Structure 1
Amino acid sequence: MDTRFLQSFVAVVDCGSVADASRRLDLPATTVTQQMRSLEADIGCQLLTRVGRTVKPTVVGARLVDQAREVLRGVRELRSAASDTGLPAGPLRLGATPTALMGMVPALLRRWMSAHPTIQVYIEPGTSSKLLEQVVSGNLDVAILVHPTFAMPKTCEWRVLRSEALILLAPREMTVRNPLLTAAREPFILYDRKVVAGKMADEYLRSRGIKPKVRFELDGIEHIAQLVAEGFGVSILPDWPAVGKSDGRTKRYPLPPPCPSREVGMVWSRASLRSPLADALYALVERK
């Protein structure tokens, strides 16, 4: 059985389509389709079925996908152990939230390429919760994400990279003497309450007895900042690092204490044979 076919099978299940899986794997869609047919012929039953516009595993496929992940994880660890360098064999599988990917990751990648030019990096963007799941399951070697509202699994190593206090973001031309009164008075763009900082912002306002005039609610700090810059309202966001030149159309205001902060950090599995890759990456953060 070709493990490349198992990799394609897992990718199709995760992506929900052959087209998306082929883009993730950098393979033609016809190749992925042929691999799936060969795998099904080898196993002797259908693994995937089309439901509307998506592809889902059959009953048998759903039973086998976790075992396929285990096989692929074992293959990665076998290759890691067989590496003749000081670190496990690449690629380094790095997860990052969109904000981290636009902010701190590029500089970190430059240091990695300089220190370890022969070890490629596979980057997977995602939400903090999804990335943490991928680290725990062994599908990612390390991830840069926001600390969840619950304790990290004991199997994971967690290192804080930065702490980001909540701030009021407002259009620059707006007069702001009291950030809380401004948040209560002006049209408000609410950071998605399902994410950590969005929940923090919502609870902070509630604790102050403020019910903002919500115009929009969405995820994505950069998207919200763009709406604020366009004059659609104000927002309470983490004090995230600006990428490149900051938008001169907005201004940040500190909030009255006690003001919560979100922690952005690096997480990896302590027990993994590939943990030295994560250690090497974190060493580059400390070296900056």
Structure 2
Amino acid sequence: MLVPLSCTETNPLTILKENMFLRYDRNQWGGRIADTFLKENEIFPRDQLELDSLEAIALMVSEGIGVSLLPDWKKPWPEGLKLRKIPVSVTPPHRHIGLLWLHASPQVTLIKAIAPFLVVKKR
């Protein structure tokens, strides 16, 4: 979750209920994950805008326009942002992916080289 530096509240659920919400586009996987989180927690935020640009949302949060639930993406971020990240869950959401190919594919050697890196090992 991104909040402006001026936000002193630390409880993510309270923040979402009490502030204008800048929604990440529900057509994007991260937006769908955020939407599922909101529904599961019976939070009905006051939507301000729905955008598909992480950078634009971060800039708007920095300017105090609202708060947002976004994937925790790596840098580079826009410079000079005045915001804080607040984790909303101990267990981060995940998604399953698969790999399917024809055994007769001319790229089978490359596919077999990449496939082991896609396997998640249980801890």
Instruction: Report the TM-score range of the alignment, normalised by the length of the smaller protein.
Output: 0.7 to 0.9
Which residue is equivalent to 2:36?
Answer: 203
Q: Structure 1 stretches of 5 or more lacking a match?
A: 1-167
Which has more strand, going by share of residues? 1
Alpha-carbon shift at residue 208 of structure 1 (Å): 1.1
Q: Structure 2 stretches of 5 or more lacking a match?
A: 118-123
Matched, 1:254 2:105: no
Give the structure, 1 or 2, with the largest relative contact order (CA under 8 Å, sep 6 or more): 2
> How many pairs were matched up?
115
Matched, 1:226 2:69: no
Counterpart among 13, 30, 47 of residue 180 in structure 1: 13
Q: Look up the SS of the partner of 1:197 in the other structure.
A: helix
1:225–1:269: structure 2 CA closer, same or farther, 3 Å change rule?
Answer: farther
The alignment's TM-score, normalised by the length of structure 2, stands at 0.74
Matching of residues 48-197 of structure 1 within 5 Å: 168-197=1-30
Q: Percent identity, aligned pairs only?
A: 33
Calculate the aligned-residue CA RMSD, in Å: 3.0
Give the whole-Å Cα distance in 2 for the aligned partners of 1:267 and 1:169.
33
Give the whole-Å Cα distance in 2 for the aligned partners of 1:235 and 1:170.
7
Give the whole-Å Cα distance in 1 for the aligned partners of 2:98 and 2:58.
25
Which has more helix, going by share of residues? 1
The alignment's TM-score, normalised by the length of structure 1, stands at 0.34
- Kept in 1, the 8 Å contact 2:24–2:69? The answer is yes
- Kept in 2, the 8 Å contact 1:187–1:213? The answer is yes
Matching of residues 262-273 of structure 1 within 5 Å: 262=95, 269=101, 271=103, 272-273=105-106
Give the whole-Å Cα distance in 2 for the aligned partners of 1:283 and 1:243.
28
Question: Larger radius of gyration, structure 1 or 2?
Answer: 1
